[in-house]
């Protein structure tokens, strides 16, 4: 073949391949244009997942009548003019190719009016062919309609998923943009149903409405500054850590991006507070002079390159770590000069508490034990009870102390209970499905595309676990029944299902069903088990020890942490000089 220059239509179609691969990426480009035009209201409408119609309307600045043709021409933009502008981009768009690319693979209608014009102007692009412009009646702002998407690129059309899946992706895109632009109203409608409606509000309220208002009490506000870079955001406490990193939202100068360095800085700040396999929940907003960050490094503009990556890393890490330490999640024993009698002097946080377990061993307890009168009993004080040989003592609401023939046993209550439940559940599973309990009112939970997909493909597994749930919309799931064990232990069903689907969706579990089941049961046991800080009744104590003797199989919980330690008589005798 000879070398030839490609025709413009083909060039635009090739560019479209990088920029617009599905309805969600088209919506992203169009909404970004609306935001760049300084609007306060954006309406997005879909028909059949965007296959038949995508319409984005805004009340922004509009386009001058004599520029409307340029708007749909490739490499034509109002956002940059010369080379220097490229190194300090303050707008979301800058390449001038979105409208041209979209118009090359669909039938696009662009209608726009500026506030000082009496009427609007319209242009159509059909598979890359531009119509004449013509005046139309229009309100101030811009509307773009995209129909017959990919009609001339059938291969691309084939890659589209179900309408529901495409709709969910659009929803994810709008949520990402809406996180940064809290003072803009966003409405998403699909087949006449309103899926999202975010009125103008404060930053914090906007984020909570996106991540889930149920997390309100669990999100800590962070704020920091370094070398002209500012950071603001909400970070979830260790107890709302998730099995995947996708609940980490990062925004730089209003742009939603993914950035492995920022994610790493955040995760490092949680070191020791969450299990290594889990990820924090967070929405972070980094603002800096546009010249300090290169946004022209990714076709869909979803990554950036920082001039000074280290400063950003440290800012995120230090800001998050200091907020976490203020909130006392840090698992450190700090000896104080005044010793244990100083109530403010030190914090005593067990490693159990480090892993999102509520409650820490109480300081007052330590205090009162230390000061218990040992020799000098006042007459009215009752004499301490002499305990029998199978007595058990709960220490600091965290450990159990008892004895066996060989010495003193020290048991971690959470680890043991987790182990007991794991064994019981595995045994039940070997005989059939887990016992399940119907909910009086189905639990409706918000779900994203990956979670819905995981629900669809794991029906078998979920049934075995006693979970009954089904999609109840393009972005929600109804839960009808949950494993009895979780219900009876007051585990939050919505959180559990979401985490389970996240983990299933990101292939966290083994591919063999057998192994996957045991991994899930492991996760369930951990959630349902009593925690450090739970006060146990004598009945619960003796039940737990009885079960320990039944399972008997040794001293470690499913995670591999020990459940029990023994201080042998031989050791004690030696230490006390008896031998
Ligand atoms: P870019 O956003 O990279 O400049 P686009 O192809 O997305 O390229 O848009 C081309 C131009 O059309 C923009 O630079 C802008 O001037 C104009 N434009 C597009 N959409 C809108 C809108 N919603 N409101 C106002 N102007 C718009
Ligand atoms: Mg654009």
Higher pLDDT, 108 or 1: 108
DSSP states of 428-465 as a string?
HHHHSSPPEEEEEEEEEEE--HHHHHHHHHTHHHHHHT
Residue range 281-298, pLDDT digits in tens:
999 999 999 999 999 999
Q: What atom in ligand 1 is closest to the CA of residue 95?
A: 3
State if residue 91 touches ligand 1 by the CB under 6 angstroms criterion: no
Mark which of 272, 299, 326 sits at the end of a domain: 326
The domain boundary residue, chosen from 294, 326, 358: 326
CA atoms of 257 and 271, how far apart (whole Å): 23
- For ligand 1, atom 7, name the residue with the nearest CA: 98
Going from the Cα of 348 to the center of ligand 1, the distance in angstroms, rounded, reads 58
Q: Is the pLDDT of residue 532 over 60?
A: yes
User: What is the rounded distance in angstroms from the CA atom of residue 100 to the CA atom of residue 114?
Assistant: 21
State the pLDDT confidence band at 338, using cuts at 50, 70 and 90. Answer: very low
Question: What are the pLDDT digits (tens) for 411-470?
Answer: 889 888 988 888 888 888 888 999 999 998 898 898 888 899 999 999 999 999 999 999
State the average pLDDT over residues 509-513.
Answer: 76
Question: Which residues lie near ion ligand 2 (Cβ < 5 Å)?
Answer: 33, 93, 98
What's the number of CA atoms in the CB half-sphere (13 Å) around residue 539?
A: 0
403 - beta bridge partners? 408
Question: Within a domain: residue 243?
Answer: yes
82 lies in some domain: yes
**Does residue 162 share a domain with residue 32?**
yes
Are 117 and 210 members of one domain?
A: no
Residue nearest to atom 17 of ligand 1 (CA): 71
pLDDT of 371 > 50? The answer is no
Determine which residue's CA is closest to atom 19 belonging to ligand 1: 33
By CB neighbour count within 10 A (0-12 exposed, 13-18 middle, 19+ buried), where does 562 fall?
A: middle
53, 155: one domain = yes
Residue of 187, 269, 188, 272 lying closest to 235 (CA atoms): 269
Q: Is 379 among the domain residues?
A: yes
DSSP string across 297-342: TSTTS---EETTHHHHHHHHHHHHHHHHHHTT--------TTGGG-
99 lines ligand 1 (CB under 6 A): yes
For residue 425, being part of any structural domain is answered with no
Q: Which candidate, 278, 280, 201, 197, places its Cα nearest to that of 236?
A: 280
Q: Is residue 291 part of a domain?
A: yes
Rounded-to-integer distance, Cα 477 and Cα 475, Å:
7
**Segments forming the whole domain that contains residue 307:** 203-326
Atom 8 in ligand 1: residue holding the nearest Cα: 96
Least confident of 130-144, 237-251, 411-425, 556-570: 556-570
Contact assessment for residue 164 and residue 447, using Cβ atoms and an 8 Å cutoff: no
CB contact at 8 A, 282 and 248: yes
**Does this model's pTM top 0.95?**
no
Residue nearest atom 2 of ligand 1, based on CA coordinates: 93
Which CATH number goes with the domain that contains 291? 3.30.230.10
> Any idea what the Cα angle at residue 456 is, between residues 454 and 457, rounded to 5°?
70
Identify which has the larger pLDDT, 89 or 339: 89
Query: What average pLDDT does range 46-57 have in this prediction?
Result: 97
CA–CA separation, 136 vs 134, rounded Å? 6
Ligand 1: atom nearest CA of 78 is 14
CA–CA dist 131, 166 (Å, integer): 29
Whether residue 97 is found in the same domain as residue 229: no
Q: According to the per-residue pLDDT averaged within each range, which of 163-167, 238-242, 573-577 is highest? A: 163-167
Query: Among 82-86, 214-218, 434-438, which range has the highest average pLDDT?
Result: 434-438
Same structural domain, 443 and 494: yes
Q: What is the pLDDT of residue 545?
A: 86
181: pLDDT confidence band, cut at 50, 70 and 90? very high
Residues 187 and 229 in one domain: no
Identify whether the C-beta of residue 44 lies closer than 8 Å to the C-beta of residue 186.
yes
Q: Residue 170: name the closest of 152, 146, 151, 153 by CA.
A: 146
Boundary-marking domain end, from 326, 344, 376 = 326
Looking at residue 576, its pLDDT comes to: 86
Q: Domain containing 402 — which CATH number?
A: 3.30.1540.20
Q: What is the 163 CA–ligand 2 centroid distance (Å)? A: 25
Distance 355 CA to ligand 2 centre (A): 44
Q: Number of structural domains, the chain? A: 4
Residue 423 pLDDT: 81
What is the average pLDDT across 185-196?
95
Residue bearing the bigger pLDDT, 509 or 249: 249
What pLDDT was estimated at residue 550?
Answer: 75
Residue 2 maps to a domain: no
| CA pair distance 80, 376, nearest whole angstrom | 85
Q: Are residues 174 and 262 in the same domain?
A: no
Atom 15 of ligand 1 has which residue's CA nearest to it?
Answer: 78
Judgement on whether residues 411 and 461 belong to the same structural domain of the protein: no
How far apart, in whole angstroms, are the C-alpha atoms of residue 464 and residue 544?
Answer: 26
Inter-residue contact 484 to 428 (CB < 8 Å): no
Same domain, 144 and 280: no
Q: Is residue 130 part of a domain?
A: yes
Q: Is the minimum distance from the CB of 219 to ligand 1 under 6 angstroms? A: no
160 and 85 in one domain? yes
Closest by CA position to 263, among listed 242, 277, 280, 278 = 280
> Is 302 a pocket residue for ligand 1 (Cβ < 6 Å)?
no
| Candidate from 138-142, 306-310, 527-531, 552-556 with smallest mean pLDDT | 552-556
Over the chain, what is the mean pLDDT? 84
**From the alpha carbon of 58, which atom of ligand 1 is closest?**
23
Ligand 1 centre to CA of 71 (Å) is: 6
Ligand 2 midpoint to CA 35 (Å): 10
Of residues 474 and 464, more confidently modeled: 464
Is the CB of residue 97 below 6 angstroms from any atom belonging to ligand 1? yes
Lowest mean pLDDT segment, chosen from 191-205, 541-555, 561-575: 541-555
Residues 450, 504, single domain; the answer is yes
Would you give the distance in Å from CA 405 to the centre of its chain?
49
pLDDT of residue 385: 53
Q: How far is the CA of 295 from the centre of ligand 2 (A)?
A: 14
* Residues 305-316 pLDDT 10s: 999 988 999 999
CB of 77 sitting under 6 A from ligand 1: yes
Q: Is 39 in the pocket of ligand 1 (CB under 6 A)?
A: no
- Note the pLDDT of residue 378: 39
Mean pLDDT of all residues in 323-334:
56
Q: How far is the CA of 79 from the centre of ligand 2 (A)?
A: 9
CA of 54 to the centre of ligand 2 (A): 16
Q: What is the pLDDT of residue 419?
A: 83
Least confident of 279-288, 368-377, 541-550: 368-377
- State the average pLDDT over residues 366-385: 38
Give dist(CA 372, CA 311) in Å, integer.
52
Pocket lining: 198 vs ligand 1, CB cutoff 6 Å = no
Q: How confident is the model at residue 379 (pLDDT cuts 50, 70, 90)?
A: very low
Residue of 26, 36, 130 to mutate, ligand 1, most atoms within 8 A of C-beta: 36
In the reported structure, the alpha carbon of residue 132 is separated from the centroid of ligand 1 by a whole-number distance in angstroms of 19
**Residue 69 Cβ < 6 Å to ligand 1:** no
- Give the whole-angstrom CA distance, residue 148 versus residue 155: 14
Quick one: pLDDT at residue 367? 28
Task: Please say whether the dihedral angle defined by the alpha carbons of residues 502, 505, 506 and 509, taken in this order, is positive or negative.
Answer: positive
Q: Which atom of ligand 1 is nearest to the CA of 141?
A: 24
**Would you say residue 458 lies in a domain?**
yes
* Percent share of the chain, pLDDT over 90: 50
Q: Is 103 in the pocket of ligand 1 (CB under 6 A)?
A: no
Q: Please name which ligand lies nearest the alpha carbon of 94.
A: 1
- The domain spanning residue 485 has which CATH number? 3.30.1370.100
Q: Which ligand is nearest to the CA of 32?
A: 2
Give me ligand 2 centre to Cα 415, in Å: 54
pLDDT number for residue 353: 31
Residues 309, 437 share a domain? no
């Amino acid at each position: 073949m000879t070398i030839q220059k490609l025709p413009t239509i083909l060039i635009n179609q090739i560019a479209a391949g990088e920029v617009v691969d599905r309805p969600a990426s088209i919506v992203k480009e169009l909404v970004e244009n609306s935001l760049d035009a300084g609007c306060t209201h954006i309406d997005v409408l879909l028909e059949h997942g965007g296959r038949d119609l995508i319409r984005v309307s805004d009340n922004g600045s509009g386009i001058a009548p004599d520029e409307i043709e340029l708007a749909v021409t490739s490499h034509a933009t109002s956002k940059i003019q010369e080379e220097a502008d490229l190194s300090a981009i303050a707008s979301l768009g800058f390449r001038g190719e979105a409208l041209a690319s979209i118009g090359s693979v669909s039938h696009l209608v662009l209608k726009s009016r500026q506030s000082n014009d009496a009427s609007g102007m319209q242009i159509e692009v059909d598979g890359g062919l531009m119509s004449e412009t013509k005046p139309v009646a229009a309100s101030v702002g811009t509307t773009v309609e995209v129909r017959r998407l990919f009609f001339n690129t059938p291969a691309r059309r084939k890659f589209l998923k179900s309408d529901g899946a495409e709709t969910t992706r659009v929803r994810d895109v709008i949520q990402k943009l809406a996180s940064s632009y809290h003072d803009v109203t966003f409405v998403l409608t699909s087949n006449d149903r309103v899926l999202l409606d975010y009125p103008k509000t404060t930053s914090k309220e906007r984020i909570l409405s996106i991540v889930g208002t149920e997390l309100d009490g669990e999100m800590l506000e962070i704020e920091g500054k370094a070398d002209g870079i500012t950071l603001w955001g909400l970070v979830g406490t260790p107890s709302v850590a998730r099995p995947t990193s996708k609940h980490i939202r990062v925004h730089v100068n209003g742009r939603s991006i993914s950035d492995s360095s920022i994610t790493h800085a955040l995760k490092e700040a949680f070191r020791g507070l969450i299990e290594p396999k889990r990820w924090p929940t967070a929405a972070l907003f980094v603002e800096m002079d546009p010249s300090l960050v290169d946004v022209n490094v990714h076709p869909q503009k979803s990554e950036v390159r920082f001039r000074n990556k280290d400063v950003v890393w440290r800012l995120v890490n230090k800001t998050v770590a200091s907020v976490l330490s203020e909130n006392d999640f840090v698992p450190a024993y700090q000896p104080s000069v005044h010793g244990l009698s100083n109530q403010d002097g030190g914090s005593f946080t067990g490693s159990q508490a480090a892993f999102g377990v509520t409650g820490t061993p109480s300081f007052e307890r330590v205090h009162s034990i230390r000061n218990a009168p040992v020799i000098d009993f006042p007459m009215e004080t009752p004499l301490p009870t002499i305990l029998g040989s199978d007595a058990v003592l709960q220490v600091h609401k965290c450990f159990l102390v008892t004895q066996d023939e060989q010495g003193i046993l020290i048991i971690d209550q959470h680890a043991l209970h987790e182990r007991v439940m794991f064994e019981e559940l595995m045994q039940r599973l070997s005989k059939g499905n887990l016992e399940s309990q119907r909910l009086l009112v189905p639990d409706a939970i918000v779900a994203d595309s990956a979670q819905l997909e995981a629900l669809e493909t794991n029906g078998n597994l979920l049934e075995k676990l006693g979970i009954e749930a089904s999609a109840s919309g393009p972005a929600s799931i109804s839960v009808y029944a949950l494993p009895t064990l979780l219900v009876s232990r007051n585990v939050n069903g919505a959180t559990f299902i979401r985490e389970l689907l996240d983990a299933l969706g990101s292939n966290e579990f083994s591919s063999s069903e057998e192994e996957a089941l045991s991994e899930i049961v492991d996760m369930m046991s951990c959630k349902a088990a009593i925690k450090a800080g739970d006060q146990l009744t004598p009945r619960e104590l003796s039940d737990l020890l009885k079960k320990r003797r039944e399972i008997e199989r040794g001293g470690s919980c499913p995670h591999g942490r020990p459940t029990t330690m023994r201080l042998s008589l031989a050791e004690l005798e030696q230490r006390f000089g008896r031998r």
